[in-house]
Amino acid sequence: MNTEQITKGLQHVANIEKQLFDVAKVPLYPPTLDAFKETFGTKDAEQLGRPDYFATYKTTGGSPLGTIGKDFTPTQPRELFSSFVECLSDVSELDLSTIQYRELKGGAKVQFTVKLPSISFKNAMKVGDEVATNLVIQTGYDGLTKTTFNLETLRLICTNGMTVRGTEAGVSFKNTKHNVGKLSIATDTAWVAGCEQIIKMIDQTQSVKKAFQLFDKTEVTRKEVDAYVKKVFGYSNTERAELGKVKTERLDQIMASFDLEMSRTGNTVWGMLNGVTHFTNHIAETDNREDYMLTGAGLLTNDKAQKFALELVKP
C-alpha cells in the first residue's frame, strides 16, 4: 500500500471518528410516592428502593438506547473503533478508506465494516458471479447485543446482501485501568488476546467461497424448491389453495424472486438462496431496510435460508 493510499485511509478514519457518539449509563428510579399510591392504591410504601437497572443514552440526548443491568459497562463507539482500526493496521493491509460506520435501531446497535477481497466464480449459467465481502464488528447498548465479528456478503449482479452463517466470533472488549481498549477474540478453545484472530476471520472468505461454489454445483428439482420455500417461509405452492389473501400475495412475491434469480443463476441451491436474499433485500415490506436486513426479520430469514441450503449439499 503506497503513501497516498495510507494518507487517504487515515483521513477517512478521522472523518468517521467525528460521526461517533458517546454513551451514558443513567440509573432508573421508581415512580414518585404519589404515583405509586395512585397505581397500587396503598399508603404503606413510604420508602421505595431504586431498582438495579439503568438506561443507556447518547450524551447528546434523545430516546433511550436500551435498558441494562448494573454490571453492564457500555463499550464506547470511539474506543471500539480505535481498537478495530489498530487491529486492521497491525495484522493486514486492508484499505482503511473502505471502512463504513452504521447506526442501527437509532444507535442501539453500531457496526463498523471493512472491505475484504471479493469472491469470484462462474455460476451454473456460465456467468461470472462476483460477491463483495466485508468484515463486520458490532456492539450494542440495548442490553441484548453482544460484541461480535462476522462476515457479510453482497452479490454484485443483484445487490443481494446477507450476513454469512457460521462466521460469527465473540469479542471481549476490556476497558480496565491498565488495559484500555484491548480486544480479545473468541476461538474454538479460548479467548485470544490481541488481534491475530482477525487473520483467521479474513481467511474464512475462502471457506465461504467453497460453500457458494458447492451451492452452485448442486441442482434442485421443483419439488425441492417448494420444500425449501416451506422451510424458510412457513408455506409454499403446495398449500396455495389453503392460504389467505395476504399470504398468497406474499408467496407470489417470493416465487417471483425465486424465478428471477434461478433464471439468471441456474436451477441450483445457489439460485434458491439468492431467491431468498432477493426477496429480503428488495421486496419484503419494511419501514427500515437496513435495520430489517442487519438486525431484524431479514437477518433471521437469510440465516434460515443458509441453514437449509447447507442441508441440501454434499461436501
Whole-angstrom distance, CA of residue 185 vs CA of residue 147: 10
In the predicted structure, residue 41 carries a pLDDT above the cut 80: no
Shortest CA distance to 255 belongs to which of 225, 285, 224? 225
172 or 4: whose pLDDT is higher?
Answer: 4
CB atoms under 10 Å from CB of 135, counted, come to 24
Long-range own/partner contacts, residues 255-263 (CB < 8 A, 24 or more apart): 255/229, 256/283, 257/282, 257/283, 258/225, 258/229, 261/158, 261/160, 262/225
Q: Is the pLDDT of residue 192 over 60?
A: no
Task: Please report the pLDDT score of residue 270 as a whole number.
Answer: 97
Predicted confidence band of residue 2 (pLDDT cuts 50, 70, 90): confident
Burial of 157 (0-12, 13-18, 19+ CB in 10 A): middle
Per-residue pLDDT band for 185 (boundaries 50, 70, 90) equals: low
Question: Are the beta carbons of 124 and 216 closer than 8 angstroms?
Answer: yes
Q: Which residue has the cell 389453503?
A: 242
pLDDT in tens, 206-248: 999 999 999 999 999 999 999 999 999 999 999 999 999 999 9
Which of 5-9, 23-27, 200-204 has the least mean pLDDT? 200-204
Q: How far apart are the first and last CA of the chain?
A: 37
Tell me the pTM.
0.86
What whole-number distance in Å separates Cα of residue 95 and Cα of residue 89? 9
Query: How do strand 100-104 and strand 23-27 relate by DSSP bridges?
Result: unpaired
Contacts of 163 (CB under 8 A, 6+ apart): 136, 150, 151, 152, 294, 299, 302, 303
User: What phi and psi, each to the nearest 5 degrees, are found at residue 160?
Assistant: -90, 115
Per-residue pLDDT, 91: 76
Predicted local distance difference test score (pLDDT) of residue 290: 94
